[in-house]
Structure 1
Amino acid sequence: MKELSCIPPWNRSMAVRRGEVGLIPRPSARVVLIDGADRLLLFSSRDQRHGIVRWYTPGGGVQTGESHQEAALRELHEETGLTGVALGPEVWRGRPWVTERDGVVYEVRQRYYVARVRAFEIDTARMEDFEKTSIIGHRWWTAQELAGTDDLLRPAGLPHLFAVLLVEGPPVHPVLVSG
């Protein structure tokens, strides 16, 4: 296997697809956090290469010995300050995707759990340093606002997924999503 740093940036994704670079599995847990006004909490980051802002649900990597549900609740606490959340079922499951951080290539596999809460003031004081430097904002979104934005939303199809979740409730089996 080649070291990722030995491969020019423009060839890295092809090297991963050809199996020249090993992938490190990165299980991840995210929370579809909905408040009493049926608004969804999303965080935003700016893609350093293209300057594009993308919005996504709270969550992050599963630590060794931790279940996806435990990771979801820990991440929710770190990113929002919220505790005592009754985590609902897994509603979406992400197709694997590849990312690179600090020269390491990860295969991310996300699970999304739903939770309903009262509106609250977001407290980001417990975020990790990486999150503090990469997350540029957060806000609560209505289904109508999601449907009307041109911003990049993750997972792909989020406006439709969220609208269906509000109307039909959690699916019997997690819906497969991209991004």
Structure 2
Amino acid sequence: MARLAVKLLLLDEDDRVLLIHARDPKTQAECWYPVGGGVDSGETLQSAAAREAYEETGLRDLPPGTHVWTRDHTYEFNGQSTDVHEEWLLHHVAHFTPAPAQLSEYESTTILGFAWWTAQDLDATTETVYPPELGRLVADVAART
């Protein structure tokens, strides 16, 4: 059974999306991905999003998100394969400097930092970004809002 996850498109005033920079402890491969994580039993998507935003970035008072898409995916990390069902929420936020509040021990060993990316930067980068089509998806969402 796939793990339910919420993924957050945190877009600032300039339509930049906040991404986490991480290193796989097994392969040492680096990648970028949006804030988010598992939805705990009894949590709504919105409450899970608020918890993940706070834990991973220190952001309090996450504004309500708008559901923008769903993705079923299998990812490989730290030598393990995990099936996830992702619900993606768009949150418009004021630009801020992330300061994680409650990273798990595992997250604190894999997360290298954060950066705000434009859709154009995502399309042009040679770095690994998940999902690979994130630049186009961010541009589409930003154009609609």
Give TM-score, length-normalised by structure 1.
0.73
Look up the match of 1:129. Answer: 105
> For the pair shown, which has the larger CA radius of gyration, 1 or 2?
1
User: Where does 1:1-179 land on structure 2 (aligned, <5 Å)?
Assistant: 24-97=1-74, 99=76, 106-169=82-145
Contact 1:99 1:107 in 2 (8 A): no
Deviation at 1:100, TM superposition (A): 6.8
1:91-119, CA deviations, whole angstroms, 9 ceiling, x for partnerless residues? 1211232557797x642111110001111
CA–CA separation in structure 1 for the residues paired with 2:8 and 2:140? 16
CA–CA separation in structure 2 for the residues paired with 1:82 and 1:49? 29
Residue identity matched to 2:106: F
Residue identity matched to 1:55: W
Give TM-score, length-normalised by structure 2.
0.89
Superposed CA RMSD in Å reads 2.0
**Gapped regions of structure 1 (runs ≥ 5):** 1-23, 170-179
Q: Percent identity at matched positions?
A: 34
CA–CA separation in structure 2 for the residues paired with 1:144 and 1:96? 24
Query: Secondary structure, in 3 states, of the residue corresponding to 2:2?
Result: strand
1:54-111, CA deviations, whole angstroms, 9 ceiling, x for partnerless residues? 11110101111112221111000111111112122111211232557797x6421111
More strand by share: 2
CA–CA separation in structure 2 for the residues paired with 1:120 and 1:139? 10
